[in-house]
Amino acid sequence: MKASVIGAGSWGSAFALHTGRNNIPTKLWIREKDVYLEAIRSHENKTFLPGFIFPETVSFHTDLSAAIQGSDIVFIAVPSKFCRNIYREMSSLISPTQIIVSLTKGIEKDSLKRMSEVLEEVLPAHSRSRIAALSGPSFAREVADRHPTAVVVASNDLQLARQLQHLVSNAYFRAYASNDIIGIELAGALKNVIAIATGICYGLEYGTNSVAALITRGIAEITRLGIKLGSRKETFAGLAGIGDLVLTCTGKLSRNRSLGFDLGKGKTLEQVTSQMKMVAEGVTTTQSSLQLARKHQVEMPIIEQIYAILYERKAPKDALFDLMSRELKGE
């Protein structure tokens, strides 16, 4: 099997490093010219994943056609706001036999579609049955460091998910198969918003009581929306649900948690994002998820308050007060 990885941010680079170590010939497509030239020179992505040398099984490309041609599987790891344009560029290049796997955790801003839905809309009809998504608690640097990691590969075609499961797994990277692609993608996207909330708590110097409450009530909100949209409840109790949520809410490598931390310290959203080298998906997902919640009449109070902080300049302490003073209910 041969693979392509589209996108050379930290996650795309770490995944190409992983597949290359699995002795899968891998083409890594790099948009940024300076990153490409550095990778050619040093076999390292010093901008987004410094300290890791790619094996000889990984090659580097700036031409999208050359990066895709001849591969059996195309993994896509670009921020959600760029996905539709990349998918369009890819649409005429994808062959009927290639498998397409989304590594992106986000929801498209205006359409409110998951990434696999955008793929189905943009790619040729022959590709729609060969789409999958990979998600779960997987910081790029820890995967690159070979820390034991478990993820979920999901597709409407469970046999396809199982095929991918065997392809990407090894002694330190274990994949589980699922056919609940709706739940996998929703959980992976929405956990970033809750991570902003927990980051704010850390920035305000609140303790682990506050963080535990946000994680617990956060997964309740995500599950409510997921079930409404057709996913299974048990998905949110698994790796892509509570597993990824705990990681992103508590891990110091989380960009969304770090963004929330700075907001809790009093910085504005503009100040924080202007200093970030990589995208924090939770910023745009906050808008999309709130729109989805309102469209489907699902109560998501944490999402609502994070939206107010990010886009209405509400003070974090006021948002917390409003959450805590809501009408008392049964769990």
Q: Tell me the catalytic residues.
A: 191
Residue burial 10-49, b: 16+ Cβ < 10 Å; e: rest: bbbbbbbbbbbbbebbbbbbbeeeebbebbeeeebbebbb
Give the Cα separation of 8 and 82 in Å (integer).
Answer: 13
Q: Do the beta carbons of residue 72 and residue 2 sit within 8 Å?
A: yes
Among 130, 168, 123, which residue's Cα sits nearest to residue 149? 168
Q: What do you get for the CA distance between the two ends of the chain, in Å? A: 48
Q: Which of 280, 266, 298, 311 is nearest to 80 (CA)?
A: 280
Helix (H) or strand (E) holding 171: none
Beta bridge partners of 29: 6, 61
Which residue from 62, 34, 64, 61 is spatially nearest to 48, judged by alpha carbons? 34
Phi-psi region at 163: left, alpha or beta (left = phi > 0; alpha = psi -120 to 50):
alpha
Cβ atoms of residues 35 and 45 within 8 Å: yes
Q: What angle do CA 88, 91, 97 make, to 5 degrees?
A: 155
The answer for 136, left when phi > 0, alpha when psi is -120 to 50, beta otherwise, is left
Output phi, psi for 49, to 5 deg: -145, 65
Residue listed under structure tokens 């040398």? 53
